[in-house]
Amino acid sequence: MNETNKRLSTGISGLDEVLKGGLIKKRTYLVRGGPGTGKTTLGFHYLIEGAEKNEKSIFITLTESKDKMREDAQNRGFDLNNIEFVDLSPSSKFIEENKNYDVFPSNEVDQKPLIDEIIKRIKNNKPNRVFFDGLTQLRYLSSDSFQFRKQILSLVQFAVEQNITLLISSEASINSPDDDLQFMCDGVINLENDENRRVINISKFRGSGFLSGRHSMKIKKDGIKVYPKLRLQKRKKDYKTETISAGVPEIDELLHGGLERGTTTVLSGASGVGKTTLGLQFMKEASGRGERSVIYAFEEGVETILNRSEAINIPIKEMVKRNTLAIEKIDPLEYTPDEFTHKVKREVEENNIKIVMIDSVSGYKLAFERLADGNNEMVRNLHALTEYLTGMGVTVLLINEIQNITGDFKVTELGISYMADNIIFLRYLEMNSELRKAIGVLKKRLSDFENKMRQFKITKYGIKVGSPLTQLRGILTGNPEFIDSSGNGENFHGNR
Ligand SMILES: Nc1ncnc2c1ncn2[C@@H]1O[C@H](COP(=O)(O)OP(=O)(O)OP(=O)(O)O)[C@@H](O)[C@H]1O
Ligand SMILES: [Mg+2]
C-alpha cells in the first residue's frame, strides 16, 4: 500500500496539502477552536468527502440538534443526505428519555450511559468516518475528570478497533483546557479567528510530516478554504537559461543582452517615472513570442493601465484579447497574503505564465501588512513567492516606488533588494534646465552590465532610450555632475 492509500482526504484541498496528503486512516484527530472558528464546518467537509466516496459517515452531535444542523447545512449548500446523524443534543429523544442519564456507566441499572449509547450506535452503523461535535460537553456532564479521560480513551480505542478515522471537536478555553485530549489524539488541528483573520495550524500529527506554520483560512458560503503558506524553497532550475529582450535595443545593451528567464528584477524609481511602462515593454515583447504575462496591480486600476498604455504604443488591449496578458487588480480587503500567493501559484501552474509583475511592492506591503504576524512577514512572503516563481522559470518584475524624485537614491527602502537578481532604476534628472528621465542598471547577477545611464523617454511611439550619458558622473549620489570638456565638474542639479 502506498502512502496515499493510507490517507483520507479531509474534503478541503488546502488542508490536505498542509497534511501532506490527508489524515492517516484509523486514527483520531482533535479539531480545536473557539466559538465560530469553523469546527462544525470542517466536520461537514470531512463527512461529505467520505459520503462522496461511498464511505459510511456519521455525525455525532451533543450540542445542536440534527434538524438545526441539517437546516444550516442546507442553507450553505452542503449536502448531508448521505450522512448518518446520531443526535444526542439536549433536545433529542435519547436525552428526553434519559433525563437522569449519566455520561458514563454507573451502578444504577436504570441509567443509560451516554457513552454506551454512542458506542452502540457506531457499532450498528459500521462507519469509516466519524465526526464527533461537542465532545467537550461531556466534560461538563461528568463529575470526575479521571473518569472523563478514561472513557474518552476507551472511545478512541474502540474507534481504532472498528477501523474508524475519528475527528473530535473541542472548544478549549483558558478555564477549561483540553491538554488531555490533545495528548490522546494522534493529530491536532487548531482553528483561530482573531480580528477577522482566520488561521489554521497543525500542532501535532503522529506518523507524518506536515506544513508547519499558521496558514490562512477563509470560510466562504461554500465552506472552508485553506491557503498553505508558501515556504522558501531551493530553486529547481531545469528550464533553459536564456535572456528575454526588452524589444528596445538600447535597454538590451544596458543589460548586456536582456533579462535572464527565471530571475527577479526590481524596477525602481519615483512616482510617474515609467516603471510600470518599462515592465509592460518586456511583456509586449513576450506577447510577440506568444508568451503569457500577468500584472498584479495593487495601486492602479486596470482601466488606468489600459488607457495609458494604448497612448504610448503598447497594444495592451490586444494583448489581453489574445490572452497573452492578464491584468488583475488586487483588492487588499479580499485577499490574505497566503491566498494571494495561492492565486499566483494557480495562475502560473495552469496558464504557463512567463512574466509576473507585482505593481507595486509597497502596494503589496500596504495591502497585507494589517494581516501580517510580524514586521518582516510580508517581505518573507514575497521572497518565498519570488523564489517559487523563479524556480518555475518565471521572470519576476517587482515595481519599487521610491519617495524622493531626485536626490539620494535608495533602492533598499523596503528591504527587498536582497531578493533582486537585477536592479534597473529610472530617475529624474535636470538637464539644461529641463526635467528629463534616465535609466540605468545597478545590479545584474548573471552577467555584466553597462554602468552608464541613458536618457529615457516615453513617447506616443513607445519607449525611447538614448546613448550612454558619458558626461555624467555620480548618478547614484544626490548630485550627479556634468563633466564638461575642460574636465571641470559642474553641479547638475540640487535636491528637490
Ligand atoms: N454562508 C456563509 N458564508 C460565509 N461564512 C459563513 C457562512 N455561514 C457560516 N459562516 C461562518 O462560519 C463560522 C461558523 O462555523 P462553524 O459553525 O463551523 O464554527 P464552530 O467552530 O463549529 O462554531 P461553534 O463554536 O459555534 O460550534 C462563522 O464564523 C460564520 O462566520
Ligand atoms: Mg459547531
> Does residue 244 contact residue 259 with C-beta atoms inside 8 Å?
yes
CA–CA distance, 41 with 221 (Å, rounded to integer): 11
Residue 103 three-state SS: coil
Answer whether 35 contacts ligand 1 (Cβ < 6 A): yes
For the Cβ of 45 lying below 6 angstroms from any atom of ligand 1, the answer is no
Cell of 206: 503522529
Cα–Cα distances in Å, from 256 out to 244, 261, 444? 11, 14, 10
Single-letter residue type at 2 = N
Q: Point out which residues pair with 396 in neighbouring strands.
A: 264, 356
Strand partners, 145: none
Is residue 21 classed as helix, strand or coil in its secondary structure? coil
Cis amide leading into 360 (omega within 30): yes
Q: What is the pLDDT of residue 110?
A: 38
> What stretches of 126-243 show up as alpha helix (H) in DSSP?
137-141, 145-161, 179-184
Return the C-alpha cell found at 134: 461537542
Please indicate whether residue 37, judged by its CB atom, sits closer than 6 Å to ligand 1.
Answer: yes
Q: At residue 334, what is the residue type?
A: E
pLDDT score, position 210: 95
Question: What is the 243 CA–ligand 2 centroid distance (Å)?
Answer: 55
CB of 221 closer than 6 angstroms to any ligand 1 atom: yes
Q: Which atom of ligand 1 sits closest to the CA of residue 63?
A: 27
- CB of 222 within 6 A of ligand 1: the answer is no
Residues whose CB is less than 8 angstroms from the CB of residue 279 and which lie 6 or more positions away in sequence, other chains included: 267, 295, 357, 359, 397, 399
Q: Is the dihedral of CA 387, 388, 390, 395 positive or negative?
A: negative
Q: Which of 401, 408, 411, 402 is nearest to 494 (CA)?
A: 408
Measured over the CA atoms of residue 215, residue 350, residue 422 and residue 466, the dihedral's sign is negative
Rounded CA-CA distance 341/345 in Å is 6
- Centroid of ligand 2 to alpha carbon of 224 (angstroms): 14
User: What domains are there in the chain, each with its CATH number?
Assistant: 3-227 (3.40.50.300), 243-491 (3.40.50.300)
> Which of ligand 1's atoms lies nearest the C-alpha of 221?
3
Nine-digit cell string for 432: 539644461
User: In whole angstroms, what is the distance from residue 48 CA to residue 27 CA?
Assistant: 18
Question: Shortest CA distance to 247 belongs to which of 282, 274, 278, 216?
Answer: 282
Question: C-alpha grid cell for residue 45?
Answer: 467537509
Rounded-to-10 torsion of CA 315, 320, 321, 323: 120
In angstroms and rounded to an integer, the radius of gyration of the C-alpha atoms of the chain is 30
> How many other C-beta atoms can be found within 10 angstroms of the C-beta atom of residue 70?
17
Residue 155 is classified by DSSP as: H
Which residue among 69, 74, 189, 219 has the greatest number of ligand 1 atoms within 8 angstroms of its CB, and so is best to mutate? 219
Q: Which amino acid is at 353?
A: I
Residue 273 near residue 307, CB atoms below 8 Å: no
On whether the CB atoms of residues 59 and 47 are closer than 8 A, the answer is yes
Going by CA atoms, what residue is nearest to atom 8 of ligand 1? 221
Sign, Cα dihedral of 439, 440, 445, 446: positive
User: Within a 10 A sphere around the Cβ of 158, how many other Cβ atoms?
Assistant: 16
How buried is residue 129: exposed, middle or buried, by Cβ count under 10 Å (0-12/13-18/19+)? buried
State the pLDDT at residue 366: 83
Which ligand sits nearest to residue 61's alpha carbon?
A: 2
| 219 Cβ closer than 6 Å to some ligand 1 atom | yes
Q: Which ligand is nearest to the CA of 133?
A: 2
Point out the ligand nearest to the CA of residue 39.
1
**Can you spell out the DSSP letters for 75-142?**
HTT---TTEEEEE-STTSHHHHHTTT--SS--S-TT---HHHHHHHHHHHH--SEEEEETTTHHHHH-
The CA 36 to ligand 2 mean position distance, Å, reads 7
From the first residue on, what is the mean pLDDT of each consecutive set of 10 residues in the chain (496 residues)?
A: 73 96 96 93 96 94 86 89 87 66 46 73 91 82 76 88 94 82 94 88 95 92 91 64 92 94 92 91 95 93 85 91 94 84 93 94 83 70 92 94 65 72 88 83 88 90 90 64 54 37
CB atoms within 10 A of CB 51: 19
Phi, psi of 273 (to 5 degrees): -80, -20
Which cell numbers in the block locate residue 348? 502560473
- Residues 250 and 272: their CA atoms lie apart, in Å, by 21
C-alpha cell at 433: 534646465
Measured between its terminal Cα atoms, the distance across the chain in Å is 70
Helix (H, G, I), strand (E, B) or coil at 69: helix
**Side chain identity at residue 333, one-letter code:** L
Q: Extract the C-alpha cell encoding 441.
A: 542598471
The whole-angstrom separation of Cα 191 and Cα 93 is 32
Query: Which numbered atom of ligand 1 lies nearest the CA of 34?
Result: 25
8 A C-beta contact, residue 98 and residue 106: no
Contact 468, 453 (CB under 8 A): yes
For the CA of 200, the nearest ligand: 1
* Separation CA 482–CA 461 (nearest Å): 29
Cα–Cα nearest to 82, from 109, 105, 59, 51: 51
User: Does the Cβ of 172 fall within 6 Å of ligand 1?
Assistant: no
C-alpha cell at 317: 488591449
Lookup result for grid cell 478554504: 225
